[in-house]
Amino acid sequence: MSYVAKVLQPGETVLGTARLHMFIYLPSIGALVIAVVFFIATYFVREDFQFLTVAGTGLSALIAAYAALGEFIHRSTTELAVTDHRVIYKTGIFSRHTIEMNRAKIESVDVEQSIAGRLFGFGTIILRGTGGTFEPIANIADPLTFRSHITVG
């Protein structure tokens, strides 16, 4: 059972959900590209240096696998939802970080998108609540739709 389903109050309904964008896998893809470059370089360097390129391939591949596993866990354990009463954000397996903000207490919802974010459809939602609270939620897929769920509901 998901965290959002566990914390719903009686009569509260989910209006929309969001996920983290696949763009969070970019560091592991970069490390994988470096591993491929080292692998290809193995065939073009002198035999004296092949050990270095093989070691570079293995190290880069391990870094890529480690990064991809961490990014996969982060993406699969993050939940974002808008209900008719509040906005819910949860991340983590063993240690958990949650943000739950009453929709009536939200003064503004800002969306920040870089050029890459606009091209690939991801961005950061910034919830500004009464009393000066400031909650950024980064790397959300389709942030404009998520903002619409918060503001229009």
In which band, very low, low, confident or very high, does the pLDDT at 93 lie, cut at 50, 70 and 90? confident
Query: Using the 8-state DSSP alphabet, how is residue 9 labeled?
Result: P
97 pLDDT exceeds 80? yes
The answer for residues whose C-beta is within 8 angstroms of residue 68's C-beta and 6 or more apart is 25, 28
On whether the 80-151 domain is CATH 2.40.128, my answer is: no
Residue 36: CA atoms inside 13 Å, Cβ hemisphere, count? 6
Residue 131 gets the label, from left (phi > 0), alpha (psi -120 to 50) or beta, of left
Q: Looking at this protein, which amino acid is placed at residue 38?
A: F
Distance CA(54)–CA(56), nearest Å, equals: 5
Q: What is the rounded average pLDDT of the residues 42-66? A: 92
Q: State percent of the chain over pLDDT 90.
A: 79
Instruction: Give 106-113's long-range contacts (Cβ < 8 A, gap of 24+).
Output: 106/130, 106/150, 109/147, 109/150, 109/151, 111/143, 111/144, 111/147, 113/143
Q: State percent of the chain over pLDDT 70.
A: 99
More confident residue, 36 or 135: 36
Domain ranges (residues) in the chain: 25-73, 80-151
Instruction: Give the model's pLDDT for residue 153.
Output: 60
In which band, very low, low, confident or very high, does the pLDDT at 132 lie, cut at 50, 70 and 90? confident
